[in-house]
Structure 1
Amino acid sequence: MSNLVPNYEPLRSTKNWNSISPCFLRSFIFKVAVKHWLDLATDEHGCLCLNECIDFSKFEFRDALLKVIAENSEFLSQDPFGLSIKNKKLINSKKVLSLQHPKFIEIICNCQKGIYVPLSMQKCSNHIVEKCIKSLWIGFVINDLVKSGKLEQVARDQYGN
């Protein structure tokens, strides 16, 4: 542990170590999650861990995770684990959308511009399009569908929104 975190030894030797330890460990885990979000987001078990970090982190760690996921939602929306649903828990982009945080929803909806049509016809990503349709930024989706000329094809597609 001392190799991973500077100043670990002085913390360990304090008389209040038992009360510092849980807070310190949570902070450490969240910092690692923010730094290694991509590895977590694209791994079957890592995405569950990332989801837990979003649920239990607070303030700057949570916002940092939400921001990096939102900013990379174009990539994640096309990754099987970036969108997976395991044990009825929402993961990554869909998780961020479900939190109803306007700043991050706008980032996600904006990042999907130009790919709404293919996303809406894929089983693993059509729910992202559905969430964007239900947001204030529905215009991004409508604009893409109209410009593509594939509105009828999307409407007839088995996964089309």
Structure 2
Amino acid sequence: MGPGYGDMINNGGLHPLNQSLSGSTSEPLFSGLSPPWMCMPLEVYKGKMYFLAKNSTGSKYLQGKLEGGNLEDVEVIFSELKEFVLDLMVNGSGNLVMQKLFQVCNENQMKQLLVGILNSGGIQFICCNIHGSCCMQKLIELLTPPLKYVVVRSLRPLTCTLLKDSHGRCVIEYCLKKLPPEDIKPLLIEVADNLYEIAADIYGCCFVLRCVRIAQGDIMYQLLDQISANALFLSKHPYGNYVVQNMIAENPYACENLLEQLQGQFVNLSMNTYGSHIVERCLEKLKKDQVMTVILEFTTSGDFLALLLDPFGYGVAETALKVSKDMGQIHEILIDLILGHCHFLHNHPYGKRVLKRAQECKRRLIDP
């Protein structure tokens, strides 16, 4: 894979990143500064750059120095700020300095900054902070490919937690959007390993769908297998059902395992707010023999009448009539079963609708 964590960690470690420097404050240094201060040499503020970076005016001064492209200035700023990388990345003014610093650092300096973040144990804290999230995305953008992979490996155990945070989610989504599939493989594996937890989240369900579309080879099939394994629970979930629906629509060839998980449950699902969408999608998108299996389960169920009277089930029955019109005997059996319950259906608000559809289908059979 390239250099491991140990190869990048300097002897001696780093200063604690959340420490405060006692007896100092930033505001008195920079209050009342006018434009000429931008031209003052960096040496004037030697030993004070941490406070400079956290001050809105001082932050602009440091950004200007970094934009100047003077390597000596870059080294001076880097040497004073590298011990406080975590603190500055989550600071409103400091994060702007760090983003600018990332742009002008050489590879060795970037490696040291990354080591500081990893050693601090604060990568989750950074990602879940409004400023830190943006700063982390900029860092990932500017790292070399081997170091990007190191970041992804560090993010892997935090994936579920970050996806549930409005700022942390942006970091994970950035990786998915900007990095090649091979580099984000650890994240995809983590999603597969925790698929139900992620898919049952309001934002996580959309993330799972993007993962399936991006994943390749074994990882894609691992994701699909996990969707199938959790299909019954996800089908009844207000967010998870979207994951199952999209799998049926976009990967119908991979639905054998899914059907096995749902077998014997199609009637119950049809009478569920969210499950009914899954059953309808199965009827509309799956292969003919698979659709016939679902309809056969309807016609042999003791709860078929309950399905016809259900506010969600009747719509599934109408869809079954629609998609089975070219399926011969199974279509006729379905029609006759519905008509056989005419007494219970004709005055029912939902039943009368499916009864009307069955009567129309019967007339077409008699007079094509």
| 1:8-61: CA deviation from partner (whole Å, max 9, x where unpaired) | 435998xxx624433464222112112221210122222122122112222221
After TM superposition, the structure 1 = structure 2 runs for residues 6-155 of structure 1, keeping only pairs within 5 Å, are 8-9=4-5, 18-20=144-146, 21=148, 22-23=179-180, 25-83=183-241, 91-102=242-253, 104-134=254-284, 135-136=286-287, 137-155=290-308
After TM superposition, the score normalised by the length of structure 2 is 0.36
Q: CA RMSD in A?
A: 2.7
- Greater shift, 120-129 or 147-156, is seen at 147-156
Give the structure with higher Rg (CA). 2
After TM superposition, the score normalised by the length of structure 1 is 0.76
Which blocks of at least 5 consecutive residues in structure 1 are unaligned? 84-90
Structure 2 residue identity aligned to 1:120: S
CA distance in structure 1 between the partners assigned to 2:206 and 2:311 by the alignment = 28
CA distance in structure 1 between the partners assigned to 2:274 and 2:260 by the alignment = 19
Aligned length: 146
Structure 2 residue identity aligned to 1:138: V
Which blocks of at least 5 consecutive residues in structure 2 are unaligned? 9-106, 109-142, 149-178, 317-368
Aligned-pair distance for 1:96? 0.9
CA distance in structure 1 between the partners assigned to 2:292 and 2:216 by the alignment = 31
% identical equivalent positions: 21
Structure 2 residue identity aligned to 1:158: P
Paired residues of 1:117 and 1:144 also in contact (CA < 8 A): yes
Paired residues of 1:51 and 1:95 also in contact (CA < 8 A): yes
Aligned-pair distance for 1:77? 1.1
Residue aligning to 2:339: none
Structure 2 residue identity aligned to 1:97: I
More helix by share: 2
